[in-house]
Amino acid sequence: MPSIHSIQYLRALAASAVVCFHVSEQFGGPFSVGAAGVDIFFVISGFIMWVTTASRPADPAGFISRRITRIVPLYWIVTLLIAAAMLIKPQFFYDHLFSPLNLGRSLFFLPLRENGALHPIVLQGWTLSYEMMFYLVFALTLFLGERWRLSVLVGVLTIIVALHLVLPDGYPRSFTSPIVLEFAAGVIVGRLWVQDVRLSFALALTLLVGGFLLLAVTPVADADMPRVLRWGIPAMLIVTGAVFAERARPFRPVALFNFLGEASYSIYLWHALMGVALTGITLRLGMLPALQPAVIVVLSLAFSAMLYLVVEKPLIRALHPSRP
């Protein structure tokens, strides 16, 4: 896949937004829209999966193998470290659901439910349960010819969401959330990209800005509006606008933003543990409460990005030697 710098920028933005959301939530702040970083990630995931497999020999087993070796090792490391921290300092993890059963199930992306939601050891890891389900569905569609792949993939994801309306509350229903449609949206954008569709820079920029404006007004929108509408549609507009604006007007990337995009998975997984540790440190140092959120956000990003270099990148090189 040729480097699409805007995708890296958006990954960096999405990861940073989730960090800010969690810190804001911890301190009772107003940045709930930061959770929409997850929705941007889901659209990006659909886009990348389609673009990286289009016009190539179908290899479902290889696809799943690459996804597992890319996602699982780091997730297991962070899960086990958080589980150990919960045993040592349970008072710092009051909102976590720890048990040997949940630890085992979390490692295989099938965590226990609490209050109707998936509740893995790594709290933000609920999104990876949806990612792995999407990868499985995507891998199965690779058995089909390219002529049918898009329609079947989008159709299956739509059927999964339709089951949300008929299944009783329970574990199977947890995987039928309408948020799954965000993967389908990313796949459709990826298909347009692969077909070399081109938008004018002005139109693409309008979509990008429009997506951010929609996110900006969501705090005053109907609180009962489904997430896939409240944040999913803006996320799709943002990704679409970004990639087609870059196609219309390529740019020289800023190294820092590209790096944060590459480190976004590490930032996403590590930041909660970093936040707990940094909260304890700032309290012990007697830091002014007004300064704590900003300090925790900046240092969580910095240390999580550092762990990308120390942990994740060596793992990638060991498990994917063909990658640079």
pLDDT digits (tens, 9 = 90+) for 135-186: 999 999 999 988 899 999 999 999 999 999 999 999 999 999 999 999 999 9
34: pLDDT strictly greater than 90: yes
The gap from C-alpha 74 to its chain's centroid, in whole angstroms, comes to 14
What are the Cα distances from residue 203, in Å, to 193, 206, 207, 241, 294? 15, 5, 6, 8, 35
The gap from C-alpha 140 to its chain's centroid, in whole angstroms, comes to 22
- pLDDT at position 324 is 52
Q: How does residue 1 score in pLDDT terms, banded at 50, 70 and 90?
A: low
- pLDDT at position 323 is 60
Q: How does residue 224 score in pLDDT terms, banded at 50, 70 and 90?
A: confident
Show the tokens assigned to 86.
Answer: 């919960």
What are the Cα distances from residue 260, in Å, to 8, 131, 163, 295? 8, 21, 37, 18
Dmax of the chain from CA atoms? Answer: 62
Q: CA 23 to CA 292: how far, in whole Å? A: 9
pLDDT average, residue stretch 45-58 = 92
Q: Global pTM? A: 0.95
The gap from C-alpha 127 to its chain's centroid, in whole angstroms, comes to 7
* 251-297 per-position pLDDT tens digit: 999 999 999 999 999 999 999 999 999 998 998 898 888 899 999 99
pLDDT average, residue stretch 232-240 = 97
* 76-122 per-position pLDDT tens digit: 999 999 999 999 988 888 778 889 999 999 999 999 998 889 999 99
- pLDDT at position 267 is 98
Q: CA 16 to CA 20: how far, in whole Å? A: 6
